[in-house]
Amino acid sequence: MRVTSVTFAGSATSPAQYPKRVLPEVAFAGRSNVGKSSLINRLLGRRKIAWVSRTPGRTQVLNFYLVNDRFYFVDLPGYGYAAVPSRVRETWGPMIEGYLKGRPTLRGVVLLLDGRHPPQAHDVATRAWLAQERIGHLLVLTKIDKVPRGKRAAHLREAAACLGLSDPGLLLPVSAVTGEGEAALWKALEVALAPA
């Protein structure tokens, strides 16, 4: 994908504030510090777009970015380090749950998992919830540059097992630092964003 234009299309806390244009969109989710801003910036070829527009102190905000005047990237608030929530509602709150369940133009969610460690209970619960709600999602392992090449296959198998996946090939390893996996991720995103 050649990114020719990116514009910040606003922050939202309620559906009335979502962009009105009917364009396909994908949302990026993951634990705080998972590398979400870095990856979005990398994909968009912009150094700072995914956080310059953030409003300090307002974590529960959806940020919309219009890309190539054709689709939106949506940056969801990172979920916390706290103990496992008993329900996803407690992780993300009704605002985000409402967005994910009720946005007709949402083509899928990119769920980011920290590639350096096995997925945590929060991550596992989030992915189970997305599956249960039949919300299409890509599972991306971030910061893969931090995992020595010789250990990656075993690492992917372990992560897949934690998530209850039979095939580690469903996990897409990426690095916002080296760009590894970026082309494969774009390919998957293009499929998700293709005209219906």
Q: Interface with ligand GDP by CB under 6 A: which residues? A: 30, 32-38, 78, 142-143, 145-146, 175-177
Among residues 30, 9, 55, the alpha carbon closest in space to that of 176 is found at 30
Residue closer to ligand GDP, measured from CB, 25 or 114 = 114
- Closest distance to ligand GDP from the beta carbon of 16 (Å): 26
Give the nearer residue to ligand GDP in terms of CB position, either 90 or 182.
182
For ligand GDP, the closer of residues 57 and 195 by Cβ is 57
Smallest gap from residue 52 Cβ to ligand GDP (A):
12
Q: How far is the CB of 10 from ligand GDP (least distance, A)?
A: 19
Which residue, chain included where needed, has tokens 């996946």?
165
Beta partners for residue 10, in sequence order:
64
Q: Dihedral sign, CA of 45, 105, 103, 92?
A: negative
Q: What are the two backbone dihedrals, phi and then psi, of residue 63, each rounded to the nearest 5 degrees?
A: -110, 130
The helix/strand/coil state of 122 is: helix
Q: CB of residue 25 vs ligand GDP: minimum separation in angstroms? A: 18
- Given a contact cutoff of 8 angstroms between Cβ atoms, the answer to whether 173 and 115 are in contact is yes
**Residue owning tokens 């992780």:** 91
CB of 97 to ligand GDP, least distance (A): 20
23 vs 46, beta carbon nearer ligand GDP: 46
Of residues 56 and 104, the one with the C-beta less far from ligand GDP? 56
- Among residues 1, 4, 109, 6, which one has the least CA distance to residue 67? 6
* Contact call for residues 28 and 39 (beta carbons, < 8 A): yes
